Amino acid sequence: MPGTLYVVATPIGNLEDITHRALRVLREVDLIACEDTRHTRKLLNHYGIKTKVTSYHDHNERERTVELLQALASGRNVAIVSDAGTPSISDPGFRLVSDAGAQGIPVVALPGPTALIAALVASGLPTDEFFFAGFLPARSGERRARLTKLRELPATLIFYEAPHRIAAALRDAREILGERKAVVARELTKIHEEIARGRLSELAEQFGSDERARGEIVLLIDRTPMESEKDVGEVRTIATLVAGFEEEGLDHRAALKKAARELGLSRDEAYRRLVAERGN
């Protein structure tokens, strides 16, 4: 009989945030696959767990998956953990879980900490419908394109973001989504935990300095613009932007190119929308 793959959630900061079941499984399995063995060892040493560990991260995921599947097929039980939170949620684990399931190997998830859920329930934003979009693209144009696709989604939007990009992400979100309520949840469960609430524009200013924005960050954005901003989708049509740039002195071609960049669109898509909006 094959062994069992356990997907084990671990603390996102405070080491007390781990279940009794997770500790028992980590003691009983034959092997723990972890994102960073040094990081996981701190947790294991804290609880006196001596189980053998092996690295499993983005750079060795493909070959290590094969090795772990062989161990499971031979009857050994394996636990997979990430540095913080739940494996596969913007962390390694998807490939191993997917391949194990495809080969008929039992997969058991041990629920526990996840930064996006902790941030959501403390945010004060609607929780009945939410959409987790992982990390936003690092480049502004790609980030704006991603936000444009999510603009009409009737759900609280949740992202992970790096400290050095949070101000730019907030500014882009304000321009693309309109003024909305938002929350920046920083260093959750840690000593310097902070949950900052406000408008997108206010938070962009608040987290504008590198010194202010530090640590692990979850960005949450309300599903709808504030009352004065509900017409933002109409205001920022491609036709309106092109007309505005032409008034500033740009020729039509340059104005269309700049408008496409502002909305995160390809030039061809921007042209098609412009034609449709003008009814030509």
| Structural domain spans, the chain | 5-113, 116-226, 237-278
b or e along 183-215 (b: 16 or more beta carbons within 10 Å of the residue's beta carbon)? bbbbbbbeeeeebebebbbbbbebbeeeeebee
Task: State the pLDDT at residue 232.
Answer: 46
Of 70, 103, 15, which Cα lies nearest the Cα of 78? Answer: 70
Task: State the pLDDT at residue 259.
Answer: 82
Low-confidence residues of the chain: pLDDT under 70:
209-212, 227-236, 264, 279-280
CB 79 within 8 A of CB 25: yes
Name the CATH architecture for the domain at 5-113.
Answer: 3-Layer(aba) Sandwich (3.40)
Q: Which pLDDT tens digit goes with each residue over 32-83?
A: 999 999 999 999 999 999 999 999 998 998 999 999 999 999 999 999 999 9
Task: State the pLDDT at residue 168.
Answer: 92
Q: What are the CA-CA distances from residue 104 to residues 51, 96, 107 (Å)?
A: 25, 12, 9
Top CATH class of 116-226 equals alpha beta
